[in-house]
Structure 1
Amino acid sequence: MPIRRAKRAESLYAAVEGYDLVVTPDAPLASAINRRLDRPHFGTFATTPRRLAAGRREQAEDRRAFLELVTSTDRDWKAVAYAVGNVLQCWEHTGRLDAILEYDAYVDDATREVVAGMRTLRTTSKRLTEYEIDEGRSVAVVGHDQLTALERGVLPESFDRVDLFTDEAFDHPPFHVFESATDVVAALLETVSPSNAENVAVVLDGGGRYSSLVESAFEAADIPFYGGPGFADDPHHRAFVRLLRLCFRGSETTVGDAAPVLSQLGIDVPVADRERRIEAVDGAGAAWLRSFRDAAADRTFAAALDAYATEAGVDLSRLDEELRRLGLADEPVTEDAVDRLAYYLQTYEVPVDADNEGVLLADAKSSAYVDRPVVFHLGMGEAWTHSAPQRPWVDTEAQFDRYVGDFQRLLQSGDRRYYLVQDAAGGEPITPCLYLGDLLDDEFERFSDLDSVEHRRRPRPTGEGFDRQPTGVEPESVETVSQSALNSYVNSPRDYLFDRLLDAPDRERFVEGNLFHDFAEFYVNHPDAVAAADAGDLVDAMLAEAAAFFAADEEPLRRRTYRVGLELITAYLDEAAPESDDFLTPASGRGTNFFADYFDEPVDSPLTERWFEDASLGLKGKIDLVRSPTHLLDYKSGRRKLASQVVGGAATDPPADAPNFQAALYLAYYRSVRPDERLEFTFFHFLEPMADAIAGEADLDDALTTVTYHPVAFDEYVASREAYERLLDGYADCRETFADLGYEAYEEILAPLTFPETTDRGKLRDSAFAARFTDAVDAATAAGVDAEKGVDQAIRELNGARRRAFFREDPDAFESFVGERLDELNERRAGEERFPVDGLGGEPNYRRVDNRDLLLEGDR
């Protein structure tokens, strides 16, 4: 069916102006009709059944009934709330209070108590049940089908019906399609101002993201509004409940957990402290939180609220009144009581006193008519669709018709109306409100399939409306990139961007990792000072530095980890002492060293923590240890990776699922310092042999992973004596075959051949290379040699060498890859395109992102 054209308020008034009483399905429509009155009228003219019966504005009778009943029973609050909701809903749809008792599945002791209790409560539903309109009055009912059974019960025998709709179809305006919710709100702000706020209404999902975005935007722009945040949304009310919950979280509560509370108290929280435990953080804010928590068990809710209000410098008398209505004010603060308070605030809409001035914010699922000249409809997605009550007393078809009728009227509110929507989110189309599917003849999956106007950030030649303009700011170019930044950027450019924009908190793994790195650096410079120190004192110092990140019961495990880690680092450096070399600058000048401060000794060695930055390569980084003139080492506290995993993580076409370019980047730089030399890069995973170290059986080799850079192309390497010697140490048939063949013949056979690029064993075996290699070796070896099997094992061994090492073409490709990424990065920084969520390999590895909550998936 098409969207039916709704009658305007002026038309409705013209149809009912001669009646004594006009009944409407909703209050805003009644108010709109009353505002058109052009003659004196004694008593009520247009009103709703509930206002008519109650003689006042409708109240949230579910909340009122709950407050009356919960204080007179010992039953669980949730059970009472559930029963109240069912009883009132059944009453609404059947017209009788005790009708619910006919539905056995919904009857229990709590339900019976609620029915009995509500017989004496002067609720609006009870007044509706008792009220009858005087038969002597002329009555017009506007939108009779929108009234429920209980509301219709007040109507007299004789009344006239006035339809809400005409027989014409409504030609809806186009949907204005934007790229993001923030763009929608920005477009709204371009039109609304403090001077025209009284003429504007915004219809949105009251519980969705548009609500908070619009409220924040209006507050920032000093645009008055009402109809938005409710009692439970008051920031101090929310902060108080959160503060009470923190009292029962124990010593593991972090500064980040308490940040919303501290913010409302006007206390700035250093970002670096957010993952530290409150117990271990200094500062007035943390001290006050600890004091409040420690005293909570001996306080009543009223006393706790007074303590919070005093510290925040605000008046919270309205919340104090609500605590007293609930019977909680003089109750001790307990975890169960806090849960009950939180449940109540989440379940019921507590009335708030607010000035009805400025922009009207209307909830799409609570409104059917908005009487403002200009109305913006925001979002219009699935959240605008009601969930029909799944109860046996509800006529779902009739209820659906009411919802569709309300939706059609809402779409037509205002003299000028604008539909501002998004077309997609997370790479998936946003589904329009389901009622549109019943009202529009067109087949569609998204808003752009309908009559729509697309708005992009960049101006178009024929652009109209809400397009964005470039800022004209010249961005700074990025000339070099570190391995960690490159890893992040390739995994998810959007996550990389947020890493650059936002301060990051200190994290446990980083603090502990830095402590071990600092120890290793200091030990290289001052082994005698460490040898003379008490190992237990060093561990105590590390524990004190990291204590803010772990609970007290974790200390024994941490102490053992730190002790073993220091022992293994010391053992390795004693066994493989670095060789002196002065090819780098004499001092790095990068950061401080915890143990240098502890011992009051400088660390200034050309072998440790060496910073490099090379704009010609686009690379920068810090080398933990120059193990020898051709050997670099990096300390790792995480799990050990195999050499093949290290090389695989540096893949560029396509990138690995968990890209890690550290080895490739450092070796690419280092070969520019020592060209044409074979280089090695070792990862020392010093905590890997911990279990064996505790048992006294640690083998340092189990902690080392070394990858080699060969300054030749892989094809050159394959034909080299080094590769040939490798085959002589391989599998039995491989050794026998190539020992019989000899190196000169081996080199002659491989010189004209090209090893396939694939690393897949099956494809290698089926390749032309394998066939020619096998035939040539078979022809050049003795009859008793199984050349076919020997060559197969040789290809496997050579392929393994390629998968576990870097060759000349690898850093060549990596350097080109880095150049392409820097060009791409600078284009994105210049605004030529957005930073996408997906990386080069597609969807990011979300275990590797640092800003998961900020990543709106897809192109948003």
Structure 2
Amino acid sequence: MPLRRTKTVDTLYADVEASDLVVTPDAPFASALNRRLDRPHFGTFATTPRRLAAGRREQAEDRVAFLELIEQTDHDWKAIAYAIGNVLQCWEHQGHLDAILDYDAYVDATTRDVVQRMRTLRTTSKQLTEYTIDDSQSVAVVGYEQLTALERSILPETFDRIELFTDDAFDYPAFHVFESATDIVTALLDTISTDTAEDVAIVLDSGSQYSSLVESALEAAGIPFYGGPGFIDDPHHRAVIRLLRLGFRGTETTIADAQPVLTQLGLDVPVDDQHKRLDAVTVPELEWVQELWRTIETQTFADVLEAYTRRTDVELTRFEEELRTLGLADEPITEAGVDRLAYYLQTYEVPIDRDNEGVLLADAKSSAYVDRPVVFHLGMGQDWTHSAPQRPWVDTDTQFERYIGSFQRLLQSGEQQYYLVQDTAGGEPITPCLYFGELLETDFERFSDLEAVEHRRRPRSNDGGFDRHPLDVGTETVQTISQSSLNSYVNSPRDYLFGQLLETPDQERFVEGNLFHDFAEFYVTHPDVVADADRDALVDAMLAEADPFGSRADEPLRRRKYRIGIEMLIEYLDDNGPDSEAFLTATSGWGENFFASYFDAPIDSPLTERWFEDHSLGVKGKIDLVQAPDHLLDYKSGHKKRATQVVKRAATDPPADTPNFQAALYLTYYRTVHPDEPLEFTFFHFLDPMADVIAGDADLDGALTTVSYYPFTFDEYVGSRDAYETLLDGYTDCRETFDDLGYQAYSESMAQLTVPDTTDRDELRASEFAAEFTAAVDADTSDAVDAEKGADQAIRALNGVRRRAFFREDLDAFEVFVDERLAELNDRRAGEERFPVAGVAGEPNYRRVDHRDLLLEGEHDG
């Protein structure tokens, strides 16, 4: 089926100008014909069947019927709406009201009641059923195929059929392909002005992102428009519904839950409070919202609407009228009542007064013709495709022909047509509207496969497209990076960027983590003060501090967690207290300490919460505890990770799926403080054994994960006495084999070999190194041992050490990795390139991003 050329309105007018009455499938097209009428004409000239039968502009008969029936019956609102939709649709396609009763699967008590009561309602469908065009008139029907069975029922026996299409093909214009929806809207604003607004129409899917973007852009530019947002799209109407719903969210409602309402009310609550409970925040301007939230079920719908309008100084007369029409205005507010109101507003389009001036916004799935000289078609993707009614009374083939006919007409609306589209979104190709596949005689998967003009942003070009002009402003260079920022940047540079630009609200887990860290820091300095304190009082103080973020129902669990947490910290620090007076910085402490304020006792320890920043390495951080000159410790409230996991997540070539560079970064810095010395870094997961504590069987060592740093290469290590001693502590065959071999022979053999740069056990065992090592061991041991098995166990044991520790080459590589990331980061900050979504290792781990709603999945290069 080719894309057929539509007859122009002037051509069609010439075909029908001699007729007394012209019937068209849609109102805009009838209006276009009427505007071309160049002779006196008595009565209606061009109109639609529904307007002709009703004698006025069409009303949304489904809404009219719904309002009548909820007043006359006690049926559930959703059941009534469902039945009305089926009855009207079946009536439209089969031509008579009782047609629905022939389909048993769709007939119930509500449906029968709806059919019976609609016999007396003055709906346009009823008026169509009763109306017949006078045979004495000469009648022309334009686009007969587009009319439904009910619409055709009014036609006289004799009438002229006027075809909408010619036999010629339509030479459609090129698709203008843009990189983003924002670029498309920018192009529109470059073209439209207040002077040209009356000449322009924009066709788009009203439910797509284009709708809100275009409306906001036109409004901001002061360009008038109509046909866009409906009753429920009014921000104040939406805010009232959200305010009503807020009252039924329960006692754990947070500021974030209420934020859409607060924003519309102009209430600015600090970002830090976003995750706090609504009743735990003290802001004077917020008090009336809190009071309304607490007393919602004692209010009526009209009360809430009045309170809202009083606070915003906005008249919502039409909303009040609708509440009274629905019989809800003076009803006490219930959750079911709010649900019914929201369902009604989402299901039916409430009529609103519009100023029909300016740019016309037309919905791609509701329009078949737009009578403006210039028409922009936006998006044109799969969302332009109608979902054919899946009902037995609908002839799907005939309905598809109607849809595709309307689509062809819509594409040709206007004297000038512009198709503005995207080829991809979020890194995925956009599928063109499925009707193109039926109409265009060529194979394609995306718009760029067809005749297309690409518009791309070019940083420094003047050869067309949309240019980005660099600004001559100074850019502060990032000289150091923390482990958390490095983790975020490596996972997704763009997520890292948003983290730097946007404020992050406080969260319960962060507040609790800080409390435990503060306690550990305070206990190192003042163990005697804590020993004399009432433990229950300490827990109460912690609960009060974290209370705004937590559920009161969880208080017993949190109380137990806090008690166990501080007891585990005390037990560990009593047994493993710091034994060094070394200091890392000239000042002690970092920020405010909750327990220092609680006990009014200062903290002055050179061993806790030690801040470091090294510009030569490009790293910075905060060490929780210097347990010994060669041993650092970090408190973790999460689940324990094995040493192999810690090392694996610090990989740089390539980075891990869940990168975590804390141990590598801290040891990289600390080896400059204690060069050429073995070091250890321990994570103390003090809440991990909580279940064992409750059962009375806690093992403190089970909560510790320690990784080592060796100030030499792994190749140097494998031939050392330490490595040999490790083999003597291994499995039976390994121990017997290397006890028989002896250290001297072992060391000499290793000196001749090079261990492959891999930690994959299977690769190691299949390597040339493994074969040569096994042969050397077998040659120098007696037949009393199983040298082959012993050598295999030795390879596994040495590889285990490598997977659990950092060697000099590992941290050397990490230093280079940090230098590369900082250079890359500063180039991006200077505008050399955009911050991409994908990190060094490719697609980010979306479970680890903090701003998921701001990232487009699959968009690798920004």
TM-score, normalised to structure 1, is 0.97
Aligned to 2:666: 666
Please report how far the alpha carbon of residue 462 of structure 1 lies from its aligned counterpart in structure 2 after TM superposition. 7.8
In structure 2, what is the Cα distance between the partners aligned to 1:422 and 1:476? 35
Where does residue 347 of structure 1 map in the other structure?
347
Alignment-derived partner of residue 678 in structure 1 = 678
Tell me the secondary structure at the aligned position of residue 141 of structure 2. strand
Structure 1 distance, partners of 2:40, 2:4, is: 33
Matching residue of 1:30: 30
C-alpha displacement at 1:476, in angstroms?
3.2
Q: SS at the partner of 1:680?
A: strand
> Equivalents in 2 of 1:181, 1:398: separation in Å?
34
**How far did 1:468 drift?**
4.3
CA 1:589–1:210 in structure 2 vs 1: closer, same or farther (change >3 Å)? farther
Is the CA contact (8 Å cut-off) linking 2:585 and 2:612 kept in structure 1?
Answer: no
| Aligned-partner SS, 1:251 | coil
Partner of residue 87, structure 2: 87
2:252 aligned residue: 252
Tell me how far apart the structure 2 counterparts of residues 409 and 468 of structure 1 sit (CA, whole Å). Answer: 37
Are 2:109 and 1:103 aligned? no
1:458, 1:470 within 8 Å by CA — same for their partners in 2? no
Q: Is 193-202 or 331-340 further displaced after alignment?
A: 193-202
Greater shift after overlay, 582-591 or 407-416?
A: 582-591
Conservation of the 8 A alpha-carbon contact between 2:177 and 2:455: yes
Q: Residue 467 and residue 167 in structure 1: after superposition, are their counterparts in 2 closer, same or farther (change >3 A)?
A: farther
Distance in structure 2 (CA, Å) of the matches to 1:59 and 1:850: 47
Partner of 2:709: 709
Give the equivalent residue in structure 1 for 2:581: 581
Question: In the alignment, what sits opposite 1:305?
Answer: 305
* Counterpart residue number, 2:797: 797
Once the two structures are superposed, residues 749-804 of structure 1 have per-residue CA deviations (whole angstroms, 9 ceiling, x without a partner) of: 11121112222222222222122212222222233122222211111110000000
Q: How far does the alpha carbon of each residue in 1:25-66 deviate from its partner, in whole angstroms, 9 at most, with x for none? A: 111111112222233333222111111111111111001111
Inter-CA distance 463–443: structure 2 relative to 1 (3 Å threshold): farther
Matched residues in 2 for 1:461 and 1:300: separation? 61
CA displacement 1:220-270 (0-9 Å, x = unmatched):
222222111111111121111111111111111111010011112121122
Contact 1:635 1:686 in 2 (8 A): yes
Deviation at 1:383, TM superposition (A): 0.3
The aligned residue for residue 178 of structure 2 is 178
Q: CA deviation at 1:679?
A: 1.0
Report if aligned partners of 1:680, 1:709 keep a CA contact under 8 Å in 2. yes
SS of residue in 2 equivalent to 1:201: strand
Quote how far apart the aligned CAs of 1:583 are. 4.1
State the partner residue of 1:378. 378
Query: Distance in 2 between the 1:585 and 1:824 partners?
Result: 29
Q: Which amino acid aligns with 1:172?
A: Y
State how far apart, in whole Å, the 2-side matches of 1:827 and 1:469 are.
17
In 2, the alpha carbon distance for the partners of 1:523 and 1:802 equals 35
The match for 2:440 is 440
One-letter amino acid of the counterpart of residue 203, structure 1? V
* Separation in 2, partners of 1:726, 1:589: 40
Structure 2 Cα separation of the partners of residues 828 and 586 of structure 1:
34
Q: Deviations over 1:443-464 (max 9, x none)?
A: 0000110111111111686843
Tell me how far apart the structure 1 counterparts of residues 596 and 35 of structure 2 sit (CA, whole Å).
79
C-alpha displacement of 1:430: 0.6
**CA, structure 1 residues 475+360, in 2 after alignment: closer, same or farther (shift >3 Å)?**
farther
Within the alignment, does 1:152 sit opposite 2:152 as a pair? yes
Aligned AA (1:237): H
Shift of 1:703: 1.2
The CA deviation at 1:826 is 2.5
User: What number of residue pairs does the alignment pair up?
Assistant: 860
One-letter code aligned to 1:28: P
Q: Give the Cα separation in 1 of the matches to 2:794 and 2:783.
A: 18
Whether 1:827 and 2:830 are equivalent positions in the alignment is no
Give the 5 Å matches for 1:753-832.
753-832=753-832
For the residues of structure 2 that align with 1:471 and 1:654, how far apart are their CA atoms?
A: 35
Is residue 31–residue 46 contact of structure 2 (8 Å, CA) maintained in 1? Answer: yes
* Alignment of structure 1 residues 542-561 onto 2, 5 Å: 542-561=542-561
Q: 1: CA distance between counterparts of 2:802 and 2:761? A: 13
Counterpart Cα distance in 2 of 1:758 and 1:312: 66
CA contact (8 A) 1:836 1:858 kept: no
Q: What CA deviation, in whole Å up to 9, does each residue of 1:660-696 have, x standing for no partner?
A: 1111111111112222111111111111122232344
Pick which of 477-486 and 637-646 moved more: 477-486
Gaps of 5+ in 2: none
1:422 and 1:458 map into 2 onto residues whose CA distance is 17
Look up the match of 1:6: 6
Name the CA shift for 1:237/1:377 in 2 (closer, same or farther; >3 Å): same
**C-alpha separation between the residues in 2 aligned to 1:261 and 1:788?**
73
Q: Distance in 2 between matches of 1:556 and 1:409?
A: 67
Q: The residue matched to 1:658 in structure 2 has which SS?
A: coil
Distance in 2 between the 1:696 and 1:794 partners? Answer: 39
SS in 1 for 2:202: strand
> Is the CA contact (8 Å cut-off) linking 2:245 and 2:338 kept in structure 1?
yes
Is contact 1:278–1:286 with CA below 8 Å preserved after alignment? no
Whole-angstrom CA distance in 2 between matches of 1:440 and 1:470: 42
How far apart in 1 are the matches of 2:671 and 2:294?
60
Q: Partner letter of residue 74 of structure 2?
A: D
Pair 1:371–1:476, CA change in 2 (3 A):
farther
Is 1:399 equivalent to 2:399 in the alignment? yes
Q: Which amino acid letter does the alignment assign opposite residue 294 of structure 2?
A: D
Stretch moving more, 801-810 or 391-400 = 391-400
Q: Show the counterpart of 1:540.
A: 540
SS in 2 for 1:840: coil
- Contact (CA 8 Å) 1:456, 1:468: kept in 2 or not? no
Residue of structure 2 in register with 1:359 after alignment? 359
Contact in 1 for aligned 2:589/2:605 (Cα 8 Å)? no
Letter in 2 for 1:245: R
Structure 1, residues 78-136: CA drift from partner, whole Å, max 9, x if none?
Answer: 11111100111111112111111112221111111111111100011111111222222
Which residue of 1 is the match for residue 121 of structure 2? 121
Q: Please give the alpha-carbon distance, in whole angstroms, between the structure 2 residues aligned to 1:269 and 1:28.
A: 47
User: Residues 496-515 of structure 1 correspond to what in structure 2 (within 5 A)?
Assistant: 496-515=496-515
Specify the alignment match of 2:289 in structure 1.
289
Q: 1:122 is paired with a residue of what secondary structure?
A: coil
Match of 2:486 in 1: 486
Q: Relative to 1, partners in 2 of residues 1:460 and 1:365: Cα closer, same or farther, differing over 3 Å?
A: farther
Counterpart AA for 2:350: V
- Structure 2 Cα separation of the partners of residues 693 and 742 of structure 1: 45
Contact persistence 1:425–1:857 (CA under 8 A): no
How many angstroms does 1:834 deviate by? 3.0
- % identity of equivalent residues: 73
Q: Distance in 1 between matches of 2:436 and 2:476?
A: 47
Preserved CA contact (<8 Å) 1:176 1:421:
yes
Residues 310-325 of structure 1: pairs in structure 2 closer than 5 A: 310-325=310-325
Q: Provide the rounded CA distance (Å) in 2 between the counterparts of 1:94 and 1:369.
A: 26
Structure 2 counterpart SS, 1:801:
helix
The answer for the alignment partner of 2:17 in structure 1 is 17
Unaligned runs of 5+ in 1: none
